[in-house]
Chain A
Amino acid sequence: MAFRLEREKATSTPYVLIDEEKKYMKLEGRCFHENVAGFFKDVNEWLDAYLASDFDTFTFDCAISYFNSSTTKLLLNMLLKMNKYASETKKVIVNWITTEDNEIMVECGEDFREDMDNLQFNMVIM
C-alpha cells in the first residue's frame, strides 16, 4: 500500500504531506523546531526509501515561509539527496514557493538551486 502522511502545522513546525500514490510531498508554514531532525525522522526515512526505489517521478512543493539555520541544513540535506538520485528516467521536480517580499526564502531558494543540477528546480514567486 502506498505510504501517506499528513501532519498539521504547529507554532514551530510546518504542515507536512506525503502522498506516495501521487508521488508528491509538500511542506508549508514555518519551521524552527528545537529538534528538527527528530521531527523529520519519518519523512527522511520514507524519502530515503522512495528515492532508492525504482520511481519515475517525484514532486516536492516547498512552501516554507521561514526556517531557522538548523532547519536550513536539514532541508539542504534532503535536496542533495533528491539531486543525487534524480536522473532522466527518475524525474524530480522541486517547486520553491514563496512571496516576492520574503527575501530570506527567495535568496535561500536561489542559493540551493545553484547546486541541484539534476533537479527541475522551479522558483515559484507569488
Chain B
Amino acid sequence: MNFNIRQYSQMLADHNIEVIYSGPIWAGGIDGMAEMLQKRLEYEDLPFSASQSVFSVFVEQMNNMLMYSAEKDRQKDPDGKEVETSKGIYILGIKDATYFVQTGNVVTPNSANILKTRIDHLNTLDKKALRQFYKQQMMAENDNPESKGAGIGLIEIARRSSTPIKYQFEDLDNGLLYFTMYVTIKQGGKE
C-alpha cells in the first residue's frame, strides 16, 4: 500500500476539487457519470445556466476524450458485447462561485495538431462569433453525412467556457503527448 489515500484526499480538498473520475471512459458509461454529476450540481446554489454549462461541458469533454484518447482498450460488457474504452481523467472544482473543469488524456501527435489548431481558433472568437460558427459547422455537417461530428463538441465547450480554453501538451517518452484542457465557468457566462 504505497498509495496514501488520506494525503490524496487532502490534496484534492486543498485544491477545491469536488468531483474526480479517472479510468476507462466508454460511451454507455457516460450516462451514469452524468447522473452522478447532475445530482452533485443540484447541491450548489448557482443559477441553472451555470450548472447546465458545467453539465454540457462534461458531456462534450467525455466524448472528446472518447474520440481523441490514444490509450484505447476493448472490453466485454456484461452482455458480452465488445465496447471500446478510452483512458482519461476528469476533475471538477468549485471555488468562489466559479467552476473549473480539467481533463487529461494521452493523444497522438496528429490529434494534438488538430486539437491545437481548433482550440487556438476558437479562442479568437467572442460569444456571438462562436454561436455563428457553431451553427455554420452544424449546417456544413448536415450537408456532409460522412462527417463524424469533428469540432462541434469543442465549439460547444468554448461557448460555455467563461474564459478562453487553456490547454497544454506534454511530450511523453513513447512519442505520444499528454493533453490537458482547462475550462472555467462563472456565473453570468462568457465574458
Contact = CB atoms under 8 A, between A and B. Distances in A.
Q: Do A and B bind each other?
A: yes
Interface of A: 11-12, 32-35, 66, 68-70, 72-73, 76-77, 80, 99, 101-104, 107, 111, 115
Contacts of A32: 30, 34, 59
A76 B142 contact: yes
Nearest to A111: B135
Contacts of B152: 69-70, 72-73
Interface string B131-167: 1001100110110000001001101100000000000
A104 B52 contact: yes
9 contacts: A12-B31, A12-B34, A66-B56, A68-B63, A69-B63, A69-B155, A76-B138, A103-B49, A104-B56
B71 interface: no
Nearest to B26: A34
B149 A107 contact: no
A11 B27 contact: no
A34 B134 CA distance: 20
B131 A73 contact: no
A55 B57 CA distance: 40
Best-surrounded residue of A34, A69, A70, A104 (most CB of chain B within 10 A): A69
A21 B48 CA distance: 37
Determine which residue in B32, B53, B55 has the highest number of CB atoms from chain A within 10 A of its CB, and name it.
B55
A97 to B, nearest CB: 16
B52 A11 contact: no
B48 to A, nearest CB: 5
B175 to A, nearest CB: 30
A73 B60 contact: no
B73 interface: no
B186 to A, nearest CB: 14
Contacts of B59: 32, 68
B138 A72 contact: yes
Chain B CB within 10 Å, residue with most, of A35, A76, A80, A103: A103
Contacts of A103: 49, 52, 189
Contact of B156 (A69, A77, A111): A69
